[in-house]
Chains A and B, each alone.
Chain A
Amino acid sequence: MRQVSKHIGSAVMFLAGLLILLAAVSALLVPKTNAAGGGMRDPSANGILGEPANTIDVLFLGDSESYCAFVPLQLWEEQGITSYCCGTPAQKLCYAQTFLKKCFQKQAPKLVVLETNEIFRNFSAVDSLLQGSKLPILSLFDYHDRWKSLNSRDLNPGVSYTYMDSAKGYRFSATVAKASTKGYMDPDNQIARIPTKNYLSVETMKQFCELHNARLVLVSTPSTVNWNMKRHNAIQELSEALQLEFLDLNLMPEQVPIDWKTDSRDKGDHLNYFGAKKVTNYLGFYLAETGVLKNHKYDIQYKHWDAAAKEFSETIAKASTRKINIR
């Protein structure tokens, strides 16, 4: 018994030493800025960390569907609403939760819009551990490869998040690739399966939002490749069970008149800028009607949004003078 206690004590000491060492290495390797140059992953989504405190009223979360469909600077121009898209490629709900928590540390959004495609993305316990954890030591596993770009700045463990994404998380594309609409949203009574842990994740996000005086809204953006009636039915059922607002823009052709010949960047998988404009235009009216969002257009504190919008317009103007690639 004494021997066993000795071994346990030895193992605990070894692990404690290892944790301290890993924490020290983690502090060295973790990005010290939120810009791509500083080694930050998903810099456009993490650009929210550089936004002035309490200036974002709407937070968009989701996979690539979200950053192809929601244009925060158009919302600003049309409705004076400040928003940010923290969508990332193939985002899983555990990672969305990380962004949700990260965002609420500095911001106080009134509305959180979750693009529903990611609700069907499976994630493992390991994904939750690495992507969903706030433990600093686990950041080491995310950013271990930064040893290649270490510099003297990294010796200071403090972080300085000053980078702001000029498009507020939206990823612009004017590429046109015509989509086939065969079978798209054809009537179907079947219900797609939502993994249990995904269901629980949405519920957790709803509770988190309520705790922070925010509302969670589910939005399905138009996609002929990813969306169908089975998925619509599943999200409808989920929204009713959790008492969440649900907008399926795939079933709203009058409000969001997507032309699949011109409005997709990749044959119906994602929207291009022309499709995103239609989605954002409708969403702007919808959000404004909720009555919980202020129009900050003439608020002096939000002047930097005008500058960002101007820069964004120039980007679009430049792109539209170039020949649009139609596939």
Chain B
Amino acid sequence: MTLSALLYGGKVDQLTSFFSLEFLAIFFPAALLLYGVVPKKCKPYVLLAESYVFVWLISGKLIVFLLLATLLIHYCGLWLDRLQINMRQALAEGESDARKVIRAHFTAKQRGVIALAVVLLIGTLLALKYSAFFAGNVNTLLSLFPVTLRLQVPQHLLPIGISFFTLQALSYILDVYRGTTKADDNLPRLALFLAFFPQIVEGPICRYHQTANALWNAGSIRFENLTQGLQRILFGMLKKIVIADRLDPLVKTVFSNHEAYDGAVIAVAAVCYTIQLYMDFSGAMDAVVGIAQIIGVSMPENFSRPFFSKTISEFWMRWHITLGTWFKDYVFYPITASKGMKKLTKRSRKTLGNHYGPLAAGSVALFCVWFCNGLWHGAAWNYLFFGMYHFVLILGGSLLTPVVRWLQRVLRIDPEQWWYRTLQMLRTTVLVIIGELFFRAHGLLAGLQMFERLLTDFSLQPLTDETWVDLGVDRYDLWIVAITLLLILFVSVYNEKGVSLRDHLSKKKRIFRWAVLYALIVYIVVFGAYGFGYAPVDPLYAQF
């Protein structure tokens, strides 16, 4: 595999999809077989080699960015560790009145190391992913003035997963600085933590303590893990191939030619895109979790039935969970815990009270989180708008909480009643769909035009005539999507109640278990949107 891989460096980008034949029929079985047959002490090295082969096949020479990020955090981590040991020694040996000076001296040095790592990691990401966006905007600004100066708009190729492994690298180095993680002197273990092949494409964004040791010490493949892992991959495949990819032609047609459609079609496309994105991304996460489960590693979950959320805040605790917690831990909390913000909270609490007081500092931190979140998704104004949209919704939700509680009291509404919760879920879903409309639109202007059409040019006629036939889907496609969504809803409702249907199934008789699995496999093979007549759809989050 390794020799032929050399020839195909950067040419096998089909591997970014865990459900491509290249991955499912060639890379994954070969990687699993190799991992399974080597002695236990070699397994982590084989896993690392496979991960690098994977990145090499997709990104070719751009793998160098992953290697440099690994070396950077490894040595910066050790440097920080050395500084912390020296500080402890100096504090132990130093006199009590000198301790403050010693601490300040070493803290400044550590901050210097952190600054170096952060600047290099974020700088690389900015240079590769955002320089074209910044240069384009500067040129737009310059065009307003009578100057001929223009910046050259650079076009860089991005190594696969740079947005994901950069955040993982940052979390490691910041955790070492905070003392919550010990610096790892084992370079291959740290390298595997960053490069583990299923996770590098679309996450989840793991913390060092969550996966590094688990991956390094992953043992032999156990039959139970193999079957459970494969079942999870199969479930992901159902979401991706049967639903997400089947909706792709409709979404692509409407979003690329939105001027031709009225509000109803745009609304349908926005709903379909939201479903597509969820099924695509959560399907890929099922594959990642399933692959890791096969080797006995438990990966953090990235989704927890987000469309059961009653508020937007709750939605973001259930959707792309690892990104949300990353921003919470490394942006939100550091800002709210900073001296300036603490002072602001103290002051505003006195004037605004206990509910609105902390919101002043919180809103500053929240703004930073959503600015970064929007920008992380892509270098375009519609992504920034998407971030700001959610910032406004979450902040608005917090500001209105006392009013809503008052209204509930006055109108004698029990917020736990089923109809009230259902309304809340529907409201949240509608708000999410509007956000996704801007997220998917080809630029902010297109998003605004589409949204305007939703409000001003809405009629149900296109849904009753044959308009949708020209959107790349037929009634059979829509039936299959609807049936499969019901199936997934059924599983999700049980999961929400804390019942795992997979565990339930594993206790059934073999004939029943196999019948269910056979049915699922045949369903995917027959009703999947792949092969002749379908364009392969790249994983949606791999582009971020």
Binds A, one of B18-26, B194-202, B203-211: B18-26
Contacting residues, chain A, for B531 (C-beta < 8 A): 130, 141-142, 144-145
Q: Is the pair A142, B532 in contact by a Cβ cutoff of 8 Å? A: yes
Complex CA gap A21/B526 in Å reads 12
B522 within 8 A of A: yes
Q: Is the pair A22, B522 in contact by a Cβ cutoff of 8 Å? A: yes
Contacting residues, chain A, for B527 (C-beta < 8 A): 144, 147
A200 within 8 A of B: no
Interface set, chain A 3-56, CB cutoff 8 A to B: 3, 7, 14, 17-18, 21-22, 25, 29, 41
* Given A124-B22, A126-B21, A126-B22; A141-B525 close (CB under 8 Å): yes
Q: Is the pair B526, A129 in contact by a Cβ cutoff of 8 Å? A: no
A148 within 8 A of B: yes
Complex CA gap A141/B527 in Å reads 11
A135 within 8 A of B: no
Q: Is the pair B474, A148 in contact by a Cβ cutoff of 8 Å? A: yes
Residue of A nearest to B20 (CB): A126
Complex CA gap A125/B1 in Å reads 13
B528 within 8 A of A: yes
Residue of B nearest to A8 (CB): B223
A140 within 8 A of B: yes
Q: Is the pair A18, B532 in contact by a Cβ cutoff of 8 Å? A: no
Interface set, chain A 128-154, CB cutoff 8 A to B: 129-130, 140-145, 147-148
Q: Is the pair B532, A145 in contact by a Cβ cutoff of 8 Å? A: yes
Contacting residues, chain A, for B528 (C-beta < 8 A): 144
Q: Is the pair A125, B525 in contact by a Cβ cutoff of 8 Å? A: no
Q: Is the pair B526, A144 in contact by a Cβ cutoff of 8 Å? A: yes
B514 within 8 A of A: yes
A-B contact count (CB 8 A): 51
* Given A18-B521, A25-B525; A145-B25 close (CB under 8 Å): no
Least CB distance from B297 to A in Å reads 20
B146 within 8 A of A: no
B406 within 8 A of A: no
Least CB distance from B482 to A in Å reads 15
Residue of B nearest to A7 (CB): B223
Contacting residues, chain B, for A145 (C-beta < 8 A): 531-534
Contacting residues, chain B, for A21 (C-beta < 8 A): 518, 522
Least CB distance from B20 to A in Å reads 8
Least CB distance from B88 to A in Å reads 50
Most buried by A among B26, B525, B533: B525
Contacting residues, chain A, for B518 (C-beta < 8 A): 17-18, 21
Interface set, chain B 7-34, CB cutoff 8 A to A: 14, 21-22, 25-26
Q: Is the pair B526, A29 in contact by a Cβ cutoff of 8 Å? A: yes
B476 within 8 A of A: yes
Residue of B nearest to A149 (CB): B476
Complex CA gap A7/B221 in Å reads 12
Q: Is the pair A14, B522 in contact by a Cβ cutoff of 8 Å? A: no
Residue of B nearest to A145 (CB): B533
Q: Is the pair B223, A14 in contact by a Cβ cutoff of 8 Å? A: no
Residue of A nearest to B534 (CB): A145
Q: Is the pair B532, A41 in contact by a Cβ cutoff of 8 Å? A: yes
Residue of A nearest to B533 (CB): A145
Complex CA gap A78/B521 in Å reads 54
Contacting residues, chain B, for A148 (C-beta < 8 A): 474, 476
Q: Is the pair B514, A14 in contact by a Cβ cutoff of 8 Å? A: yes
Q: Is the pair A25, B22 in contact by a Cβ cutoff of 8 Å? A: no
Complex CA gap A133/B203 in Å reads 36
Complex CA gap A119/B25 in Å reads 25
Residue of A nearest to B515 (CB): A17
Complex CA gap A7/B224 in Å reads 10
Residue of B nearest to A126 (CB): B21
Most buried by B among A7, A25, A126, A145: A145
Least CB distance from A314 to B in Å reads 32
Least CB distance from B153 to A in Å reads 29
Contact with A along B506-544 (1 / 0, CB 8 A): 000000001001100110011110111110000000000
Residue of B nearest to A4 (CB): B223
Contacting residues, chain B, for A144 (C-beta < 8 A): 525-528, 530-531
Contacting residues, chain A, for B14 (C-beta < 8 A): 124
Complex CA gap A3/B14 in Å reads 37
Q: Is the pair A147, B526 in contact by a Cβ cutoff of 8 Å? A: yes
Contact with A along B77-95 (1 / 0, CB 8 A): 0000000000000000000
Contacting residues, chain A, for B533 (C-beta < 8 A): 145
Least CB distance from A88 to B in Å reads 11
Contacting residues, chain A, for B517 (C-beta < 8 A): 14
Contacting residues, chain B, for A126 (C-beta < 8 A): 21-22, 25-26
Contacting residues, chain A, for B530 (C-beta < 8 A): 141, 144
Complex CA gap A124/B20 in Å reads 12
Interface set, chain B 472-531, CB cutoff 8 A to A: 474, 476, 514, 517-518, 521-522, 525-528, 530-531
Interface set, chain A 85-136, CB cutoff 8 A to B: 124-126, 129-130
Contacting residues, chain A, for B26 (C-beta < 8 A): 125-126
Least CB distance from A85 to B in Å reads 20
Least CB distance from A8 to B in Å reads 9
Residue of A nearest to B223 (CB): A7
Contacting residues, chain A, for B514 (C-beta < 8 A): 14, 17
Least CB distance from A30 to B in Å reads 12
Contacting residues, chain B, for A18 (C-beta < 8 A): 518, 521
Contacting residues, chain B, for A141 (C-beta < 8 A): 525, 530-531
Contact with B along A239-283 (1 / 0, CB 8 A): 000000000000000000000000000000000000000000000
Complex CA gap A14/B227 in Å reads 11
Complex CA gap A52/B476 in Å reads 37
Contacting residues, chain B, for A14 (C-beta < 8 A): 514, 517
Complex CA gap A140/B531 in Å reads 10
Complex CA gap A41/B534 in Å reads 13
Complex CA gap A14/B515 in Å reads 10
Q: Is the pair A140, B525 in contact by a Cβ cutoff of 8 Å? A: yes
Contacting residues, chain B, for A25 (C-beta < 8 A): 522, 525-526
Least CB distance from B505 to A in Å reads 14
Residue of A nearest to B24 (CB): A126
Complex CA gap A172/B476 in Å reads 33
Complex CA gap A7/B227 in Å reads 10
Contacting residues, chain B, for A147 (C-beta < 8 A): 476, 526-527
Complex CA gap A141/B531 in Å reads 7
Least CB distance from B540 to A in Å reads 22
Contacting residues, chain A, for B474 (C-beta < 8 A): 148
Interface set, chain B 437-477, CB cutoff 8 A to A: 474, 476
Residue of B nearest to A122 (CB): B11
Least CB distance from A250 to B in Å reads 29
Complex CA gap A42/B304 in Å reads 45
Contact of A22 among B21, B25, B525 (CB under 8 A): B525
Complex CA gap A129/B24 in Å reads 13
Complex CA gap A100/B124 in Å reads 52
Least CB distance from B19 to A in Å reads 13
Complex CA gap A185/B180 in Å reads 67
Complex CA gap A207/B528 in Å reads 38
Contacting residues, chain A, for B525 (C-beta < 8 A): 22, 25, 140-141, 144
Q: List 8 A-B contacts (CB under 8 A).
A: A126-B22, A129-B21, A141-B530, A141-B531, A144-B525, A145-B534, A148-B474, A148-B476
Further contacts, 15 of them, CB under 8 A, given A14-B517, A124-B14, A147-B527: A17-B514, A18-B518, A21-B518, A124-B22, A125-B26, A126-B25, A129-B21, A140-B525, A141-B525, A141-B530, A142-B531, A144-B527, A144-B531, A145-B533, A145-B534
Instruction: Enumerate the 10 nearest inter-chain pairs by beta-carbon distance, A residue then B residue, closest first.
Output: A7-B223, A126-B21, A148-B476, A144-B526, A147-B526, A21-B518, A41-B532, A126-B22, A141-B531, A25-B522
